[in-house]
A and B are shown apart, each in its own frame.
Chain A
Amino acid sequence: MSDVLERVTKIVIEHLDVEAEKVTDKASFIDDLGADSLDNVELVMAFEEEFDIEIPDDAAEHIQTVGDAVKFISEKVG
């Protein structure tokens, strides 16, 4: 879990160019971190690549926050 959190956080910081302390569990990509819809798609694709998983579109829609991403990915990679 912490490993997933670390890697997700790193991707979010790099991709959205935000400060580390803003990337909290509840931080919404769009509302808090300034992402647009294209950023969201790119983040999902970056997660897929990083963790070698597939995130279907209907699941991706529900990944709105850092915590959502960590939860989904943790369940996937077991």
Chain B
Amino acid sequence: MFDLTGKNALVTGATGGLGNAIARKLHAQGATVALSGTRENVLQELADDLGERAHVLPCNLSDAAAVDALPKQAAEAMGSLDILVANAGITKDQLLMRMKDEDWDTVLRVNLESYFRLTRAALRGMMKARWGRIVGITSVVGVTGNPGQTNYCASKAGMIGFSKSLAQEVAARGVTVNCVAPGFIASPMTDVLNEDQRSTILAKIPAGDLGSGDDIANAVVYLASAEAGYVTGQTLHVNGGMAMI
């Protein structure tokens, strides 16, 4: 099940914890991976660790021209682009009344506009091949909301609406478009929480624990697989039950 041998995947934000886990899982299932992110040395370390079937493609997602070009570079490096995982994202948290234009613009550009650009550029090859998998990494807060994150939540909710629309446009061509919405995932950010903060968060999670990068990566592998071919326009929530939507 979920064999990705012969498939070529581009993962953005591969320098982060989630992107790292996603790239590793796709690779472990047999896919060739193109790793993208801003820090080339981190990407190279991951590629070295993976060994064969790994390519490094640094890209700054706030640079529109660079984003437009990335899927093509990935297809050239790997021979085709069958799976796109748009995982890169940033936060610039601030209560709305204090939010600067720049905080809004940057988050929307990196999180949402890059998804549009990457997808548009990746689609051509997928349409021709009559096979493609687009997976956007959104967030539980894109559906539930979260104070201090109007910009981030708007970008993540935007990814979901975008994916549903595109899914309808391209479903007849064997291309699926889905999102994975992580809940609270263990990361360097959650490692520094104190015991009180930690227990407050855990009290909201029926599963009683934070999620791991692998929990998210497993969901991505499923949606990227041939087995998920009839699943499109969906958001798969992976959150230990903290929000049931």
Contact = CB atoms under 8 A, between A and B. Distances in A.
Contacts of B124: 45
A74 to B, nearest CB: 25
Interface residues of A, number: 4
A6 interface: no
Q: SS class of chain A's interface: helix, strand, loop or mixed?
A: helix
Contacts of A45: 124
B169 interface: yes
Q: How large is the interface on B (under 10, 10 to 19, 20 to 34, 35 or more residues)?
A: under 10
B170 interface: yes
A43 to B, nearest CB: 11
A38 B169 CA distance: 8
5 contacts: A36-B172, A38-B169, A38-B172, A38-B173, A42-B127
A10 B127 CA distance: 18
A45 B126 CA distance: 13
A43 B230 CA distance: 26
A31 to B, nearest CB: 19
Interface in A27-45: 36, 38, 42, 45
Interface in B145-199: 169-170, 172-173
A38 B124 CA distance: 12
